[in-house]
Structures are given as C-alpha cells and as structure tokens.
Amino acid sequence: MSNAFDDAYRRSMDDPEGFWGDVAEDVRWIKKWDRVLDSSNKPFYRWFSGAEVNTCFNAVDRHVEEGRADQLALIYDSPVTGNTVRTYTYKQLLDEVAGFAGVLKANGVEKGDRVLIYMPMVPEAAIAMLACARIGAIHSVVFGGFASNELAVRIDDAKPKVIVSATCGIEVGRVIEYMPLLNGAIDMAAHKPNHCIILERPEFKTVLSEGRDIDWATAMESAVPAECVPVLATDPLYILYTSGTTGEPKGVVRDNGGHLVALKWSMKNIYGVDPGDVYWAASDVGWVVGHSYIVYAPLFHGCTTILYEGKPVGTPDAGAFWRVISDHKVNVMFTAPTAFRAIKREDPDGKLMQDYDLSHFRHLFLAGERTDSDTLHWAEEKIGVPVIDHWWQTETGWSIAANCIGLHAFPVKPGSPTKAVPGWDVQILDENVTPVKDGVIGAICIKLPLPPSSLPTLWNADDRFIESYLTEFPGFYKTADAGYRDEDGYLYIMARTDDIINVAGHRLSTGGMEEVLSKHPDVAECAVIGVADDLKGQLPVGFLVLKVGVDKDHADIISEVITMVRDQIGPVAAFKTASVIDRLPKTRSGKILRGTMQKIADNEDYKMPATIDDPAILDEIKEALEGIGYASSRTA
C-alpha cells in the first residue's frame, strides 16, 4: 500500500517537471517560467528558466502582506554577550532589510554585483543577506574569524563591490577582533572593495578607515528603503565557498528560483513544520545550514527562526540547548551530531534537561556528520522525541536523504538517514558506473539532472564544476561519499570515498568501525583513520574521547573496543590500535578532520585547514600517533 512519500517520490522520478511545477505554485512569482526544466545546455541544467522572482519578497514582504506582520520572524539569542535576546517581527525585519538594502544601493551596489559578508552570529548578518537578495546583489558569506589569507582568496574570486563586517566576534571567554583580519585580507587581495560597512559591537570598538569604511548604524540613520528588484529565477542568489582538493576554495553557486522552490517545500515535507512554528537550526550563517535553514527556508515558510550566538556546552553549561528550546518554545531543531556528542559527554545522564520545559519540542534533526547509533539512542531516550538523521551537502543546499516526516514517517534505522528525498535519483555505483547490489558499498551518485536548489555550476569555473563532480561517473553527480542501500531502500552513508580503506584487499568503512567504537559505554566521541602499512596496504587506527568522569584504565578501554570491532566486524578489519585523546580536531562546523589526521599519520605534508577550530589540536594528534608508533617528528 502506497503512502504520500512513495507517491511523491515516484512522481518526482517519472514526471519531474510536473512535480516541481506544481510545487512552485506555492511561490510568489513576478513572471512565470517558460520551462520548468531547461536541458538545452547539458550538463548545465536550469530550473524555471524565463521566470522572474525576488527571494527577499518571498522571505519577508509576502508575509507582511498576508497577515503575519506582527508574528516573530527572527529571535536572536546570545549567551556570549550576557544572555542578550532581540526579536524582530516580520514587519520589523522588513524595515531593517529594506533600510540596509538602501544603504547598499547608496554605496553603488546594483543587481549582479557581489557583496562579501564577514560577520559573527548577529541579526545584521541575516539582514545583510536578505538585503542583497532584495536588490538582486549576489552575497558571499565567509565564516567570521577566517584568517586573512583565506578571506583574501575569496575576495579575489568573488570581487565584491562592498564588504559587510563587524568589529568583532565573540567566543567563550574571548573576543576575536575582525578588523585586523579584514584589513590584512584587503591588503593581500588584488581586488579592492569600494567600501566596507562595519557593524560596531559594544564588546570591541575600532578606528574606521577614512574613505573606505562606513559605520552601519550611521548609514542606517539616513537610509532610503529599497524596493524589491526582479531577477531571473536562474540568476545567482549567492556564492558559498567550500574546500577544494587543490587547496583553492570552490565557489558553489545557488540560484534564486530553484532554491526558493525546493527550500520552501522542504520545511513542511521534510521537517514537518507549519507557518508560525518556531524552527531552530543551531549552525552558523557562514555554513550552508545557516544559509538554508537559519535565514532562508524558515522565512520562506512563514516560521519563526532562531539565530543563536553560543555553543552547545560552555555557554554556560551542557543545558544551553534545553534553555533555548524552553525559552522560545522551539518546535523543531536541526543541529550536528557532534553538538549532541559534546552534550552527552558533559551531561551523560541528561540531568540538566530536567530544569527546562520541552513540551513544545516535536523533532530533532541531525546532519553534518554521520550520526552514530549511541548518540541517536541517547537523544531519543533523554528528550523523548523522534531523532532524525538526514544527509546533504553544501553543493546540494538541502537534503538528499531524509525521513520526510511531513509526508510519511518511516521507522528509524540507526546509522541511516532513511531514504532518498523526492527529486533525488540516488544510485550506488562501482568504478565501472554500474549499480551494485543491495548491501554492497559503492560510490553514492545522483543521476542528472539534479533537482532544484542544487548547484548549477561553480562561480566562474564551469570546467572545474564538470571536473570536480561530473567526470568520474558520466551522467551522474559524484557526492564523494561511499555507502550502500539496504533491501528496504534505506541509505547508509559510511564515509567519504577517501575514508574507505583497503586492508589486505578488503574495502572497509571507517564509519562502520566508528559505529562500533561509539557503542562503548565510556566513549563520548571517536574517529577511525586508515594509515599506510607495508604488509596490508592500510590499517585502521582509532581515537577515543572519553565521557567526563571516566577514570577507568585507558588500556582496558582500548582492549575492549578492539574486541568489540573484532566481534562485530570481524578479524578482517585488523583493528588493533587505538589511542585515548582529550579532543578531536574539527572544523568550526563540527566535522572531524580525518583526512588531516591521516596525512599526519602517514608523514605526509598537509595544509593547515582554514576552518579548523583550534590548530593546537593537531600537535596533540601528532603526539598521540607517535605514542602508538605512527607519524614522524618533522613539521608538516
């Protein structure tokens, strides 16, 4: 017997133009499309060609017109600034966005110009993004606090007419001055912006560069509000840079029309939220999650979105998330598994949760890293709501696989993000571009054309787009993830394809081993990498971060996890070595830097990742590897 999910998925495969054309009727268009899907210039497929639209209008103006003027649109919650809370109704947000759009226009920004946004987690970051969309400018948000050289590379690639920044960002216990980083980047870059608009925060004041820098507050006092500018559905909305294998970042392009259609659809059909619900994506506006699910999708759908300037632990404790959910009556939350692993490590019994009212909370969604079954079960048990893993990428902009609770809630299978979402023709392929059997690990690929909101290309790099994503598996988009599909159609994302290791001719998933390690009762977080071995090609090495308060002998814990891997995966895994460490190296978005760890273990040169949370952790990893017989003492 079919259900709403099966019906939607089948139609999206059999009649994608009809399916997405119907979905698009929920958008306020200035001019309807000539074609839903334009395949005239393969592999550069375009959605809703000929249509005209304005993204900002659909995020803000339409809700004011349609009766939501006094509903909260945005809640800013900042424990790092003394528990500051600011709220904006849809009407107040419209006034702020229109005003800042006028500031941009007064400083020469027109449709098609680029604006680089280098901001902390403050409402003005979202306001600047929406203001760009309002006048048809293309924004490129760079994570606040990026080093000068990384920022300079993005300035030279995007060539922004204006940069929007702030005097500082705030981390736990420290203030990060942005102006020295911004000034250093502009000095290094060949391209120079005409102006920088600077938000002065009370935590740090600075001297502005005369002739170049403009104070945000002063400019807003005399701003003439700007109206929405029509743009083509196929025009770029934003550029978001993601790491490239060559060391040069790739500028993922997102268009206006397809992005609007898919993201608005996703709010009800994937996340199960209705207009007026409170939705919280605990991420950063510098990442794709922040673009899609802090700023755009919740506002497209008429929800209240939360912008949180804090951490899951340490602001002030591991009850921070429960406090936000309780204070603002959050209905649905989306965050990374690493956040919940941190909470579980600090408060394994969930005692802090008991201090808060979570009665409005319905669903927790996790993505960004594979969700291990131990974290999934812990969250389910402690919170008492469905915990749903889903999988997507910067390039796709929204979920490739998810349990679409707004269509049909399937039983959760730990380790799986459930099934491919309508619109995504996901196939598991071998190196000959042949589908593999159920249960067999292969390269996860998506048959072209990709659905709306996927990247149409890379910024000024069509050839690199083809080379990076479309060449290895002709006719498919290469996700660079490896995994398998089970007999029920559930997907399992085991690892990046370069995290599949070859042990004596056996292809094994490091993610599968991590799944086993995470089940140990004393393990809070873990990572497994493959290191070079003269005899077997590669051998797995594990890293364990223990829960707070564990005083058991480390050698006993290591012996136990080795036995667990042998019992649950088999001797073929050859898992015999592990080390207990205090913390794992991660990006600021919470992803574990396994590739960098592997290079250290194999004595290879590596580039310091621009997004690393704390570079000093790599020295700790090197010491741990040397302690178990890997890595040399040379400086990489």
- The confidence score (pLDDT) of residue 571 equals 74
At CA 234, angle to CA 458 and CA 307, rounded to 5?
A: 75
- The confidence score (pLDDT) of residue 630 equals 83
Q: Say which residues have a Cβ less than 8 Å from residue 77's Cβ, sequence separation at least 6.
A: 84, 85, 306, 307, 308, 309, 310, 324, 327, 328
Residue whose token pair is 């599968």: 512
Domains within the chain, CATH numbers bracketed: 4-310+390-483 (3.40.50.12780), 504-627 (3.30.300.30)
At CA 99, angle to CA 76 and CA 240, rounded to 5?
A: 60
**Phi, psi of 551, deg, nearest 5:** -120, 15
Give the integer Cα–Cα distance in Å for 255 and 450: 13
**Which residues in the chain come in under a pLDDT of 70?**
243-247, 495-500, 504-507, 589, 611, 631-636
For the whole model, what pTM was predicted? Answer: 0.85
- The confidence score (pLDDT) of residue 633 equals 40
How would you class 244 by CB atoms within 10 Å of its CB: exposed for 0-12, middle for 13-18, buried for 19 or more? middle
User: Where do the H-state alpha helices sit in 15-120?
Assistant: 16-23, 55-56, 62-65, 90-106
- The confidence score (pLDDT) of residue 634 equals 38
- The confidence score (pLDDT) of residue 498 equals 61
pLDDT in tens, 350-399: 999 999 999 999 999 999 877 888 889 999 999 999 999 999 999 999 99
Give the integer Cα–Cα distance in Å for 191 and 160: 8
pLDDT in tens, 218-264: 999 999 999 999 999 999 999 999 865 445 778 999 999 999 999 99
- The confidence score (pLDDT) of residue 310 equals 95
- The confidence score (pLDDT) of residue 104 equals 98
Beta strands in 167-325 (DSSP E): 168-171, 174-177, 195-199, 213-215, 231-232, 236-242, 250-255, 278-281, 304-308
Residue whose token pair is 């290791």: 501
At CA 141, angle to CA 136 and CA 142, rounded to 5?
A: 155
